[in-house]
Structure 1
Amino acid sequence: MTRTIDVSTDRLKPDRDTLLWAGLLVNTELILTFAYLLLADVTVTEWRYLLFPFVWINLSVWALARTTPEADSRRTRLVGAAIAVGYLVLLAYVGGLLKPGLLFHGHGGGAGGHTHLTGFRVAWLPPGWGPALLYSGGLVQLTLMPYKVVGYVTLAYLVYATVLETAGSAVSGLLGLVSCVSCTWPVIATLAAGLAGSGTAVAAAASEWSYTLGTLAFAVTVVLLRWRPSIRSFR
């Protein structure tokens, strides 16, 4: 029996129904954006920042709609789920969705201390960025922007599907390496602004372009994980 790797791009080709739903989604996003700009009375200086969240959301919807994980055993599903959840937590922490709570920063309040607002609140940001659900507590702080929540969940789901597909394969090590390298790109892009120090010109440039780099890394990662070469056996 011989094994080959199928590297065809059939998984990336949208069908007619997908294109129709994509058109409806884009039209809805345009309506929401223009409505927000009119009602919020804001001035936009960088239009790309309005576009970035929709790139994340649209790619996520496309990838989720076209991915159906299949597993040979319950153990494989459990292993895949554990890896996906760990990756999701890592992305949430590095991407700023999840942070240690006030107790870890010495802001517990009390006598002689500072009182900080705790609990839930909503930030009415531009579509995709918001409405963002914010939570501040003693153990954890959350900043749940819609586009990041959808995007990170999608990446974790694609990692889960990749683990299920490559489990037990003779070339799973090779595919796993490709997948893991691509999965680190969003993490690397998010950390790029902090590597050179906040006071340098390099850091300022990295910070200015961090959203662009992050969006590019996200798009490439989704495409790679969705396209992942499949393994076929022949006698």
Structure 2
Amino acid sequence: MNPLVTRFSVDSPTEYGRTAVLALGAQSALALAYLAATDAGLAAPRTLAIPLVWITAAAVGVRHAGRPESGRGVLALAGLVGAAYAIILGWVTGAVGLSSGVATGLDVVLLPPWWGPMVRYDGPLVSLFLFPYRVIGYGALAYLVSLAVRDVAEYGSSAGVAGLIALGSCASCALPLVAAVGSTLGGVGLGFGTTPAAAGGTYLLATVAYVLSVAVLTVRPRVGGS
């Protein structure tokens, strides 16, 4: 039997940096266009920086994560797991929930760039509070989780150690959930009011957890025969 060889999928720092710079440039251009086209205002630098960090991390992760080859069945399973994870994140953070009972319909709030335009929807069954940067961030994280699932499906049955390593890398998936639960227990919440305020530790904790999750799921171990 061929020995197992473990390696990590890591691109050069220059490539990571190039993607980050391009992502920041695109975000800045879109933010300026948003400000010019709407009456949205600015916020404190730290508040404005949080969405930039999330979206930049998302862009780097999606661009540089390894993509194992998988069959249609595995792709479907991985997609379902990723989608379920995104819904769970949305539920825990309050972005997705049950309807309040009063179907007020769709509303758009012009918050500072990437906090807004924030979409609020209260329908007969569900309610949504969607910040653009969180939609992008959770979408990217769900995609990276699906890639980790594909790793487990590819290596788990034929090489148990490989499956355990890949599954272990997905332990970071719980970090944003921990941050979200911590913020709820602390009584701060993730702030769905009309004025985002990132002065407290809640947003910073969630941001650190998010970046760490993306990093671990992007630089995943790979195992194969030599």
Match of 1:47 among 45, 69, 93: 45
Q: TM-score, normalised by structure 2?
A: 0.80
Residue 165 of structure 2: which of 169, 174, 182 is its match? 174
Distance 1:175 1:29 in 2: 32
Q: Does the CA contact (< 8 Å) of 1:132 and 1:145 recur in 2?
A: yes
Aligned to 1:127: 113
Deviations 1:43-98 (A, max 9, x none): 74x42111000111111112222236334322222221221121111011112210
Structure 2: gaps spanning 5 or more residues: 189-198
| Percent of paired sites with the same residue | 28
| One-letter identity of the residue aligned with 2:115 | W
**In structure 2, distance between residues paired with 1:68 and 1:5:** 14
Bigger radius of gyration among the two: 1
2:3 corresponds to 1:2: yes
Question: How far has the Cα of 1:14 moved from its partner?
Answer: 4.4
Aligned pair 1:185/2:175, yes or no?
yes
Q: Secondary structure at the match of 2:114?
A: coil
What is the distance in 2 between the residues matched to 1:127 and 1:156? 23
User: CA RMSD, aligned part only?
Assistant: 2.8
User: Residue 41 and residue 166 in structure 1: after superposition, are their counterparts in 2 closer, same or farther (change >3 A)?
Assistant: closer
State the partner residue of 2:151.
165
Contact 1:117–1:136 at 8 Å: present in 2 too?
yes
Counterpart secondary structure, 1:15? helix
SS of equivalent residue, structure 2 residue 115: coil
Following TM superposition, by how much is the alpha carbon of 1:102 offset from its aligned partner in structure 2, in angstroms?
2.0
Q: What residue number does 1:203 align with?
A: none
May I ask how many residue pairs the two structures share in their alignment? 210
Give 5+ residue unaligned stretches, structure 1. Answer: 104-115, 199-206
Range moving further from structure 2, 137-146 or 27-36:
27-36
Residue number in structure 2 paired with 1:92: 90
- Tell me: CA distance 1:51–1:196, structure 2 relative to 1, closer, same or farther (3 Å): closer
